Homo-oligomer: A and B are copies of this chain.
Amino acid sequence: MSSYETDAVVSATVHTKLDTLFRRNRIRVKELLEAGVKLDGQTVNVKGWGKTLREAGAGAFAFLELNDGSTFSGVQVVITRESTEGFEAAIESGGVGASFSVVGTVVKSPAKGQEIEIKATKVHVYGGVPDSATYPMSKKRHTLEHLRTHAHLRPRSNIHGAAMRVRNAMAFATHEFFNTRGFLYIHTPIITESDCEGAGEMFSVSTLLSKHPDGKLPTTTEGKIDFTKDFFDRPSFLSVSGQLNVETHCCALSDVYTFGPTFRAENSNTSRHLAEFWMVEPEIAFADLTDNINLAEDYLKFCVQYALDNCKEDVEFFNKTVEKGLIERLQATVGSPFERISYTDAVNLLLEPAHLKKGKFQVKPVWGTDLGSEHERYLTEVVYKKPVVIFNYPKDFKSFYMRLNDDGKTVAACDILVPNVGEIIGGSQREERLDVLEKMIIEKGANPEDYKWYADLRKYGTVPHAGFGLGFERLVRFVTGIENIRDVIPFPRWPGNAAF
């Protein structure tokens, strides 16, 4: 049918994983490099994009590095004017960024740093790059800022490709971890009338704007927007967390988790915040704060080990170019227990004269107020040099749903802090006592009527339960060493930017 079908030479030996129907007409670069010299002498068909194209021998031959995104490295293809069909077109394609199908023989490579290369008998150009000099992903080094403004092309860059492979691995590790342990994945709603935190700024979801492009929305007799004219008949928003919703399924199915996008309409134009980000939120029944912390530590270690085992090349790249010492840091994370310290002990520790002096805090920690990012980073990066769990926070700056401890002053909440990122997980045992919950809702100034359904979980067959939320982009930052959160998500959204 189309030209590329004629290239369908398949090296069947490495296609063991494939099902009966979906037969790819190519071998992935990853499979090729992993098989290495085992494929010596075999004919293969590789397809991908040019990373470099270097002519040599006074135009008699050329080296084409081909990558298909399946792994960090490319494979070197040798094309010659004499014995490679399509040599001219390949040279004229522009090379970098152009797309190719290569048929050739696998041979041992004489060059350093690669076991094999391909001696091409045929090369087909799917698409060239018209003007190499203006190609936004040209061979030269680009700034992360430049890549961000070309988010549709940046998957072709080394760093974004590697970040996306690690992100994929962390997502799969998440599902693998929870599935193996018998958790059920629950899709909590994105559009909601509820406000989980009673705090975070939320985006409205509406059809009124497109219906009233003149900006004059229908109003009630009291002069307020008339939401009965809107799609959901009431004000509705993008969810800031799936927690309250996933609790409903926890209180029936015991061990559950949600993993989906969440939203904050905060005007934070920083390298740490996104308007749209993904969260992993497990919720476990018949469990207390210690169970919750144990689960969180297990889960984090599982993910880090998974990256070390399955993203070797990408992690090595990050270790070399983004954060020296990354691999060491990741190995240390899985190698020893997380430090666990109560909020009260943490504050007292920070107030010790030696730490006050060494920490040079802009704000002195005070019992009863939240720890600042400077305190958190100091604890995890300077004092303990490993992940730190802080638990039993004062109730005053924590949410209504957190279980009140017997001291009447603190709640069974926990934060997990990690070097380089700071807070990566926040969780708590949930208040399972109906009367205490109702009191806390009122104490926090929320409307009990809004949480009637949530209270029902305590009214009928209540159980002790707990859960946490992990900022998925923070996990990817932690594992890659990438500083800016905008560089670990395919299409970042921040104030003023929802492009693409």
Contacts and interface: CB of A to CB of B under 8 A. Distances in A.
Contacts of A295: 21-22
Contacts of A137: 460
A69 B253 contact: yes
A277 to B, nearest CB: 9
Contacts of A203: 191, 205-207, 231
A265 B208 CA distance: 11
A457 B28 CA distance: 21
A461 B97 contact: yes
B253 A164 contact: yes
Contact of A495 (B127, B209, B231, B249): B231
For this chain, the copies found in one complex come to 2
A146 to B, nearest CB: 15
B288 A1 contact: yes
A276 B189 contact: yes
Interface in A279-336: 285-288, 290-291, 294-295, 297-298, 302
A99 B260 contact: no
Interface in A1-44: 1-2, 4-5, 17-26, 28, 30-31
Interface in A234-264: 234-236, 238, 245, 248-249, 251-255, 260-261, 263
Contacts of A114: none
Contact of A69 (B2, B20, B252): B252
A217 interface: yes
Given A130-B459, A172-B175, A265-B207, A245 B490 contact: yes
Interface string A474-500: 000000000000000111010111111
A48 B254 contact: yes
Residue picked from A187, A213, A457, most chain B C-beta under 10 Å = A187
Given A4-B464, A68-B254, A126-B461, A204 B205 contact: yes
Interface residues of A, number: 141
12 contacts: A4-B464, A23-B294, A127-B463, A153-B252, A168-B186, A191-B276, A194-B500, A212-B225, A215-B223, A232-B496, A245-B500, A261-B261
Interface of A: 1-2, 4-5, 17-26, 28, 30-31, 47-50, 68-70, 97-99, 101, 126-130, 135, 137, 151-153, 155-156, 161, 164-165, 167-168, 171-172, 175, 179-182, 184-194, 201-210, 212-219, 223-226, 231-236, 238, 245, 248-249, 251-255, 260-261, 263, 265, 267, 275-276, 278, 285-288, 290-291, 294-295, 297-298, 302, 432, 453-454, 456-464, 489-491, 493, 495-500
